[in-house]
Amino acid sequence: MFRTTLLCSLGLTTLSSAATHNITSIFSSSLSPGAQIFLPSDTNYTEDVTQRWTTYDAPTYIGAIKPATVKDIQNIVTLAASNKIPFLATAGGHGATITYVNCTNGIEIDISNFNTVSIDASNNTMTVGGAVRFEDIIPPLYEAGKELRMLPPPPPPSIQNVYNPYANSNYPATGTAPCVGLVGATIGGGIGNLQGLHGLILDSLLSVELVTPSGDVLIVSTSENADLFWAIRGAGANFGIITSATYKIYNATNNGLAMSANYLFPASENRSVWEIFQSFDETLPPELSLTAYSGFNQTTQEMELIVNAIYYGPKEEGVSYLTNFTALNATETNLMMVAWPNVTSSMAFGADGDACTTGSYLNTWGLGLAETNIDTYTTFFNELQAFSQAHPDYSGIFVVDRYSSAAAAAVPANSTSYGYGYRNINSHLLFENSYPSDNSTLDNAVNSFMRSIRSQFQRTSGFSEMEIYLNYAHGDEGADVWYSPQHLPKLSQLKSKWDPDELFSFNYPVPLP
- The confidence score (pLDDT) of residue 128 equals 98
Q: Are 351 and 157 in contact (CB under 8 A)?
A: yes
> Given strand 106-110, what is the order of strands in its sheet?
6-9, 87-90, 106-110, 61-66, 36-38
pLDDT tens sequence across 95-123: 889 999 999 999 999 999 999 999 999 99
At 491, the amino acid letter reads L
Residue 10 predicted with pLDDT over 50 = no
> H-helix or E-strand containing 47?
helix 45-48
Q: Burial level of 221, CB count in 10 A (0-12/13-18/19+)?
A: middle
Which class does domain 113-513 fall in? alpha beta
Q: What is the mean pLDDT of residues 51-69?
A: 93
Q: Are 250 and 243 in contact (CB under 8 A)?
A: no
Half-sphere exposure of 505 (CA within 13 A, CB side): 17
Please state the domain extents for the chain. 6-110, 113-513
Strand partners, 220: 208
Q: Cα dist. 232→188, 364, 480, 490 in Å?
A: 9, 24, 17, 12
- The confidence score (pLDDT) of residue 354 equals 58
- The confidence score (pLDDT) of residue 157 equals 53
- The confidence score (pLDDT) of residue 356 equals 76
* 6-110 matches 113-513 in fold: no
How many whole angstroms separate alpha carbon 65 and alpha carbon 440? 33
Q: What is the mean pLDDT of residues 124-138?
A: 96
Instruction: Determine the CATH number of domain 6-110.
Output: 3.30.465.10
- The confidence score (pLDDT) of residue 349 equals 87
CA 443: distance to chain centroid? Answer: 22
pLDDT tens sequence across 396-444: 999 999 999 999 999 999 999 999 989 999 999 999 999 999 999 999 9
Give 154's pLDDT tier (boundaries 50, 70, 90): low
